[in-house]
Amino acid sequence: MSENARIYQLPGPRGLDRLDHRPEPLWREVLGHRLRRLRLHRGETLLETAAAAGISPQYLSEIERGRKEPSSEMIAAVAGALDTDLLDLTEQVTAELRRESRAAPLEPTPSRATTQAMLALAA
Amino acid sequence: MSENARIYQLPGPRGLDRLDHRPEPLWREVLGHRLRRLRLHRGETLLETAAAAGISPQYLSEIERGRKEPSSEMIAAVAGALDTDLLDLTEQVTAELRRESRAAPLEPTPSRATTQAMLALAA
DNA sequence: CGGTTCGTCTGCCCTCGGCAGAACGCCTCC
DNA sequence: GGAGGCGTTCTGCCGAGGGCAGACGAACCG
């Protein structure tokens, strides 16, 4: 549990709760976000999931943070390691994108303004 | 319309109607398939859509055939050229994956056996 | 037949995927 | 306090492959 507490102390909600500020986030961002969510939900470390997927933990970290563009085989490998598949993943990515598009209206919602203020403080 | 007639005379249904024989197809295959469907539905050539997306027609062809792994920015650019977005695309990819998973039960369906016979003849 | 259009093949430059080692932050223990 | 362990991110770098231009093949038309 201490690991989870540590995770929540990471730099900011941006890594976990906010995607990029573009009109629409990029595929790798949403995907990565979803993969991290799944991994944390299973209570696994980068090391464990990466090992199960046959990749390095460093690389999995970058995938989750949308820093690298995983190949389709990599996506499949990580999905397998998380006991899910491409169908589930794309479904969840779709759901997340839908949530995002609803959460980004022309007028800022209170939680959105709060998040931006938090980001300004962090910067 | 002659262009469409020509398209249907391409090497086989595999390019358009059958994805890979793996338990689950790869992301780039389903995505590419979907992108080609969209483009053809709009009656556009590779040249037109590629130009609108700011990429080469050769490259778009490869993306559509699942030969190359497009970056997230490329996916967004092609989506934009096809007047769609990532949300729509992932939604359709999900739908297609669902269809695929239903179309691949343990016992072969008649259409599946027919397709395999066709592929054997083509090989 | 030659010309045109469309899609695919091929070779290649250069960007970035994927890794290993280093660094960082946090926690526990002595 | 320091040492050690753990989890994650940073950094540098080799080689895989993204993306392109030119060539090629198939189909169609006059």
User: Does residue B46 reach within 7 angstroms of strand C, measured from its CB?
Assistant: yes
Residue B7 lies in a domain: no
Residue A3 lies in a domain: no
User: Does residue B45 reach within 7 angstroms of strand C, measured from its CB?
Assistant: yes
Task: Kindly state the percentage of chain B with pLDDT values over 90.
Answer: 61
Residue B35 lies in a domain: yes
Start-to-end Cα distance in chain B = 29
Residue B87 lies in a domain: yes
Cα separations in angstroms, B29 against A67, B9, B96: 22, 20, 11
Q: Which residues on A lie below 8 Å from B102 (Cβ)?
A: none
| Position A21 confidence tier, pLDDT thresholds 50, 70, 90 | low
Asked whether the predicted pLDDT for residue B34 surpasses 80, the reply is yes
User: Does residue B77 reach within 7 angstroms of strand D, measured from its CB?
Assistant: no
Q: Which domain holds residue A78?
A: 12-122
Residue A53 lies in a domain: yes
Q: Which residues on A lie below 8 Å from B24 (Cβ)?
A: 76, 85-87
| CB neighbour list of residue B1: distance below 8 Å, 6 or more residues apart | none
Name the residue among B27, B75, B87 with its Cβ closest to that of A97: B87
- Cβ-defined contact of B97 to A75 (cutoff 8 Å): no
Cα separations in angstroms, A42 against A49, A84, B4, B41: 10, 12, 48, 42
- Residues 65-84 (A) near nucleic chain C, CB < 7 A: 67-71, 74
Residue A65 lies in a domain: yes
Residue A117 lies in a domain: yes
User: Does residue B70 reach within 7 angstroms of strand D, measured from its CB?
Assistant: yes
Whole-angstrom distance, CA of residue B33 vs CA of residue B37: 6
pLDDT for position A4: 30
The domain total for chain B is: 1
Q: What is the mean pLDDT of residues B16-40?
A: 82
Asked whether the predicted pLDDT for residue B73 surpasses 60, the reply is yes
Q: What is the mean pLDDT of residues A69-98?
A: 96
Q: What is the mean pLDDT of residues B110-120?
A: 39
Task: Kindly state the percentage of chain A with pLDDT values over 70.
Answer: 66
Q: What is the mean pLDDT of residues B89-118?
A: 66
| Position A22 confidence tier, pLDDT thresholds 50, 70, 90 | low
Q: What CATH number did the domain enclosing B80 receive?
A: 1.10.260.40
Residue A2 lies in a domain: no
pLDDT for position B101: 85
| Position B102 confidence tier, pLDDT thresholds 50, 70, 90 | confident
pLDDT for position A107: 38
Single out the residue of B99, B35, B79 nearest to residue A97, CA to CA.
Answer: B79
From the CA of B59 to the C1' of C11: give the distance in Å: 14
Evaluate whether A66 touches A26 at the Cβ level (below 8 Å): yes
Asked whether the predicted pLDDT for residue B14 surpasses 70, the reply is no
From the CA of B73 to the C1' of C29: give the distance in Å: 49
